[in-house]
């Protein structure tokens, strides 16, 4: 008789545990797909370091500054080793006295340090020719001085504007190629 009571009690406890597990599953997991015992879930940050007022310099083989970039803040991301930048500002071709700048609201520097990507309200200015390019994304290969965007852009010069979708440029060769849907209007000086 004693064995029967023990197994009956064990069966009742198992049924209660199963019922409690079902209630937890239905209230916590079924709608969101995530089991959460707490009301608020805080994500683990992807950054392992945070810097403010950051500046990067690259020197050419002759010792002159080849290019410079700065940002109001930078975070190194754990997931891919890249560096997320806030308010990045780039100054290129300094040593050859053909300076141009690029600014944006956000950007990233690749783990290798060769690729700078500017995002959100990108403005590129050629300080000698008084030219300006606006777009939403700009990729700058810092080692080869190649610049590109697959997105729509506007090229403004003193006497007119050109609109295009996509651009590839070689800053060393001073060559700009507008890729698709090119339309422009220019007035004489």
Q: Which residues contact 144 (CB under 8 A, 6 or more apart)?
A: 170, 172
Q: In whole angstroms, give the CA distance from residue 85 to residue 81.
A: 13
Q: In whole angstroms, give the CA distance from residue 13 to residue 125.
A: 74
pLDDT band at 135 (very low <50, low <70, confident <90, very high): very high
Residue 106 has pLDDT above 60, yes or no: yes
Residue 1 has pLDDT above 80, yes or no: no
Q: Which residues contact 35 (CB under 8 A, 6 or more apart)?
A: 24, 28, 29
Tokens of residue 129, six digits = 């020719």
Per-residue confidence (pLDDT) for residue 164, from 0 to 100: 93
pLDDT band at 42 (very low <50, low <70, confident <90, very high): low
Domains of the chain are 1-42 (no CATH), 47-186 (2.60.450.10)
Mean of per-residue pLDDT scores for the chain: 81
The model carries a pTM of 0.69
Q: In whole angstroms, give the CA distance from residue 58 to residue 162.
A: 32
pLDDT band at 165 (very low <50, low <70, confident <90, very high): very high
Tell me which of 108 and 173 has the higher pLDDT.
108
Tell me which of 50 and 95 has the higher pLDDT.
50
pLDDT tens column, 46-71: 667 778 898 888 887 888 777 888 99
Which range, 47-56, 113-122, 124-133, is most confident? 113-122
Residue 30 has pLDDT above 60, yes or no: no
Cα dihedral sign, 140-144-147-148: negative
Q: Which of 135, 133, 85 is nearest to 106 (CA)?
A: 85
């Amino acid at each position: 008789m004693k064995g029967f009571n023990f197994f009956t009690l064990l069966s009742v406890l198992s049924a209660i545990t199963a019922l409690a597990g079902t209630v937890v599953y239905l209230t916590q997991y079924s709608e969101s797909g995530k089991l959460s015992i707490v009301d608020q879930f805080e994500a683990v940050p992807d950054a392992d370091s945070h810097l403010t007022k950051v500046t990067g310099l690259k020197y050419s083989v002759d010792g002159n500054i080849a290019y410079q970039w700065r940002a109001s803040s930078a975070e190194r991301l754990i997931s891919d080793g890249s560096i997320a930048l806030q308010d990045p500002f780039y100054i290129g071709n300094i040593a050859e006295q053909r300076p141009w700048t690029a600014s944006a609201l956000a950007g990233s520097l690749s783990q290798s340090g060769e690729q700078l990507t500017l995002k959100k309200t990108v403005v590129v200015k050629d300080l000698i020719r008084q030219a300006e390019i606006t777009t939403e994304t700009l990729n700058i290969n810092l080692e080869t001085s190649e610049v590109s965007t697959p997105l729509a852009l506007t090229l403004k010069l003193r006497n007119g504007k050109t609109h295009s979708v996509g651009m590839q440029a070689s800053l060393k060769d001073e060559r700009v190629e507008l890729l698709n849907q090119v339309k422009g209007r220019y007035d004489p000086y």
